[in-house]
Structure 1
């Protein structure tokens, strides 16, 4: 990890069992594959970072940093050795420098979905930001019978601990075959062995299940830390009377807050448990809003012909409930302007396109039925049943002035440390163009 955002976080040191240069080399391996790209700014940050500090979340570690469960979790979050080819950490797809989203690009799908540890596998869903995830309630059903909370787009992991245990064993992600293999990697590091004994007791490695559960608890502890949720965006500063919104941003705030001019607030609730000051801009519920399939991803990720992502209906706790087909969890809008692409499958690249996607449900203008990214009519919903038409059509259509105002306000939800990533007026992020990074070295499984 790197940049201004790291000033409040102590660097994680190198394990005594590993040479520093070897660790740095391994940290860069995920970006050293044919067809894989990172921005020049991101690549420079990685290569120029001093040894002993975090590198895009792939850091070297030392025992003194494991004094708390949170610090142990930070080390695990950054450790690529917990993946099959030792090339992918949690922070590979959830980079702190990119709003805890995946800023890597491939020549086939851009940032739409993430590249796996093997340098080949591609998933079907966009990696959501891990920021502010600690405030998501456990997966449950409310008094109205609606599903609420849980981690991932479909809520299949009820708690952060459950979520943390998923990626290491996912063949499309970190690719480890079983818990025993992960625990074996943990035991390779004497600092981990000592820290786990301190935090969980001397018998923590007596069984693989116990050790694996301990790992997920440490990861969840880190993800619940303030490092993931700073509440210091321009909007937060506005609430505290420290900064003013522009007229355009204020118009956007009013529009999103209203039920008369938009219906955004129905799902992206502004208020949190304490009121406005901890608002996450989500009600943590599930809706089908008619998102089309990402055809470009499906063409290259090995999906079977006719494959359909059923969203919530694929959650084992919900399986068989046809009324949940096509529903996905309402995401937080915090840092939304710097964590695209958008929707559960990364099908839309620009934030303004997302706003216009909602507008098309309310407008009869022919121009509003055109996807600005393709110049063609909006693609059909991947799952045509269960679309939340009542919510999508209950407010009037928006003109360009109001669309732009909403986009402007959404940018104010960006944490202070990510404001330098905000797009320019032309929609392009303030970073140099992505540059290819390649290597003749192919990582091998141990």
Structure 2
């Protein structure tokens, strides 16, 4: 499976003014169903972003509006900053929110870039989980995903949908919201809230800044620039199934339709990431974040074979991140890469060493679920004392390549 976390032109949507009509999200295009399939990126011919719809324009204002939170201090943009690929700019494992901005979260903040092609959650023909938004795939659309931060006690901390809508009514852009969705939109609270979510979705889909495809690697694929020798070596190691094996899930090649790679196949993996003691919730020894089978997600709690699995993220802009994995356990990309290749050969570097010298591997899972951890695929198929799949120099080359995935490259 993957190397990491496991830690377009859009049609304008014409919204009916009826407050009772729920708007369906724009169709999601060209999706992956397997590691080896199309990468589901943007066509190279699709380089000019269209003018954003009224829904998307008001969605941008919603995205940046801290008055929609209980504290009056948190907006979507508080944790998802455009200058850092719509991810956090600090190195906290989890962010603080709540009504007084002091409540710690439970998971690391993901980047919002390159989410526009994510398929709804489901199982492929081989029974493997794919798609969905958030670390556990519990939301099927960008719209439905946005409800969680608006209502979560450790984020924007609104008590219910109605409290969000009341704040929206007092916003400076309320007339723009009515113009986009109808003058009677507030006659139905749920309809107004659904429109708010839809507006956030359209902003993220229609604004090209959420999927610019302008990294050095994109320009390399377009034949506009060359990669350095170290970057080319890193790319080869990234793709080599006997070395990094990263491309097994972080697809790096163009799709058959010429689409640019998104560097994820939307699958899930169980990496056995170490427990992050800096997250206050982990002070309770009975607390575990099981990803697909809980804590947040409850519909798959009986699928114990899925416990500990988290979604494979895109690796675009990974070199700009300050924390890694679902629990923010690692704070440098070098550590994250080394964890993949040295987790099993040198477990003492990552997990607690007991008084008798044994290593407590996979200490963020109870014993019954340790068998779920991926130990069969490269680079995880190693034993303690064996050589790692990548040497120190090879890790450096992979890091050089990963840096070519950062947006905004200027030759």
Under a length normalisation based on structure 1, what TM-score does the superposition of the two structures give? 0.72
Q: 1:18-417 counterparts in 2 under 5 A? A: 68-104=54-90, 110-117=91-98, 118-189=100-171, 191-192=173-174, 194-225=175-206, 226-271=208-253, 273=255, 277-298=259-280, 301=281, 304-314=284-294, 315-361=297-343, 363=345, 369-371=348-350, 380-381=361-362, 382-383=364-365, 384-391=370-377, 392-394=379-381, 397-416=389-408
Residue deviations 1:276-324 (CA, integer Å, cap 9, x gap): 75211111111101101101223xx585332111111112332211011
Distance 1:340 1:276 in 2: 32
- Asked which structure has the greater RCO (Cα within 8 Å, sep 6+), the reply is 2
Residues 275 and 115 from structure 1, CA distance in 2 versus in 1: closer, same or farther, beyond 3 angstroms? farther
Structure 2 CA distance, aligned partners of 1:66 and 1:409?
Answer: 33
Contact 2:56 2:200 in 1 (8 A): yes
CA distance in 1, matches of 2:165, 2:93: 31
Residue 302 to residue 293, structure 1, CA distance change in 2 (3 Å): closer
State the shift of 1:272 in Å: 5.7
* Ranges in structure 1 where 5+ consecutive residues have no aligned partner: 1-64, 105-109, 420-446
More helix as a share of residues: 1
Task: Please tell me whether the aligned partners of residues 140 and 147 of structure 1 are also in contact (alpha carbons under 8 angstroms).
Answer: yes
Given the superposition, is the C-alpha separation of residues 113 and 272 from structure 1 closer, same or farther in structure 2, using an over 3 Å criterion?
A: farther
Partner of 2:279, secondary structure, is helix
Q: For 2:66 and 2:160, how far apart are their aligned partners in 1?
A: 16
The 3-state SS of whatever aligns with 1:393 is: coil
RMSD: 2.6
- Could you tell me how far apart the structure 2 residues matched to 1:197 and 1:342 are? 40
Q: CA deviation at 1:385?
A: 3.1
Residue deviations 1:91-116, cap 9 Å, x none? 10101111111114xxxxx4211111
What is aligned with 1:40? Answer: none
CA distance in 1 between partners of 2:246 and 2:169 (Å): 48
TM-score normalised by the chain length of structure 2 = 0.78
Distance 1:130 1:208 in 2: 27
After TM superposition, give the deviation of residue 171 of structure 1 in Å. Answer: 0.5
Distance 1:415 1:204 in 2: 38
Distance 1:190 1:97, change over 3 A: closer
8 A Cα contact 1:234 1:413, kept in partner: yes
Paired residue total: 342
